[in-house]
Amino acid sequence: MSSPSASSAVRLAAETWESLFRSQVAVMRKLQSGPAFKSLPVKEYDVLFTLSRCPSGQLRLNEINDKVLLSQSSLSRLVDRLEKRGLVERTTAPDDGRGVLLSLTESGSELQKTIGREHVRDIAQLVGPALTVEEQRELLRLTEKLRASVAGHQPTHG
Amino acid sequence: MSSPSASSAVRLAAETWESLFRSQVAVMRKLQSGPAFKSLPVKEYDVLFTLSRCPSGQLRLNEINDKVLLSQSSLSRLVDRLEKRGLVERTTAPDDGRGVLLSLTESGSELQKTIGREHVRDIAQLVGPALTVEEQRELLRLTEKLRASVAGHQPTHG
DNA sequence: CATTGATACATGCAAATGCATCTAGTTCGG
DNA sequence: CCGAACTAGATGCATTTGCATGTATCAATG
């Protein structure tokens, strides 16, 4: 806790997070202002996307909640909206009566694909020119490592 | 536009962004749930922080708006709240009567420092164990490069 | 310097969000 | 089996957000 470089280690971590955060803001701002998200807000698309990547095609609400930066109640209501538009379906979880399984409808799957294609192009246009392929691979590796480490951590506040 | 690996380049960019985004969500979720932000929401702290880093101590609202993921109107009202709490001050820009310069009050500066100290510790606790110093330096470099590239880009939609 | 268009920020209003709480289903100790 | 503690998700309500628009200032053009 008191090595010669303890404070510089703390500073480096803070600067790294700050830079990661600002780059996320910059990219996200561009992406969400694009025409891909005129028909559906990014956060709602993100739920459709998450469902589309899931092998079983179904996810519990709390699993989805881990992936998006929304409170439980906000996600519940976001899903209300998606359901009202006929893009997803709620089902009671078979093994746990409290749980809700969410799945894409045909229409939801189609909309996800349509937006997804455009979205992926937008991403490539932003990230492609910014970083070499090698740099992208490294950024992918580092952020994945960071996410994995953070996901498996206790708060430890105090 | 049609090299053999065009589609895999697109996929890599998309996966890289996805990973960056999810890691940001995971870290942010931990950070904002900590006790550091009981007294002030993260977004409001972020404005205080941004002002505290600024050499002149003053920033235009539109400059701040570039750094945070908020609409212009939401930032305007967020600043209302900060002003009402006596943490910042609005001044008309001397060289441009339309503009508003924002600066920290003494009280705002103190609160920023108090929260900031705790916040930086939390960050170090999350990022420090996740990545080596070398990896953090590389992540810092890559995200900074990405941000700089994206900031200087036209939308190019269509 | 009048006019037209653009830029910076504020505001009305509807929609989204989060906190606290509620309901229902599950788990565990006896 | 029963009841207490726990978990998943829904809901009431106040706050926050964004879109559209308003107001004031600036810049460009004739």
The predicted pLDDT at position A154 comes to 65
Cross-chain CB nearest to B146 (options A16, A17, A23) = A23
The predicted pLDDT at position A7 comes to 85
The predicted pLDDT at position B153 comes to 74
Q: Which nucleotide is nearest to B97 (CA to C1')?
A: D25
Residues in chain B where the model's pLDDT stays below 70: 1-4, 154-158
Q: Among B14, B48, B42, B47, which residue's Cα sits nearest to residue B28?
A: B42
Whether A13 sits inside 8 A of B124 (CB atoms) is yes
Query: What mean pLDDT, rounded, does chain A reach?
Result: 94
Stronger pLDDT, A109 or A6, i.e. the higher one: A109
The predicted pLDDT at position B158 comes to 40
Please name the residues in contact with B21: beta carbons below 8 A apart, sequence gap of 6 or more.
A24, A28
Tokens matching residue A145 = 């490592």
How far is Cα A37 from Cα A41, in angstroms, rounded to an integer? 6
Integer distance in angstroms from CA A112 to C1' C4? 44
DSSP assignment letter at A95: S
Whether A24 sits inside 8 A of B24 (CB atoms) is yes
Establish whether the CB of B62 is closer than 7 Å to any nucleic acid atom in strand C.
yes
pTM: 0.93
Long-range contacts of B103-108 (CB under 8 A, 24+ apart): B103/B51, B103/B57, B103/B58, B103/B59, B104/B48, B104/B51, B104/B52, B104/B57, B108/B48, B108/B51, B108/B82
Whether A150 sits inside 8 A of B126 (CB atoms) is yes
Minimum distance, in Å, between the CA of residue A4 and any CA atom of chain B = 14
> 3-class DSSP state for residue B38?
coil
Look at chain B and count its residues: 158
Please name the residues in contact with B85: beta carbons below 8 A apart, sequence gap of 6 or more.
none
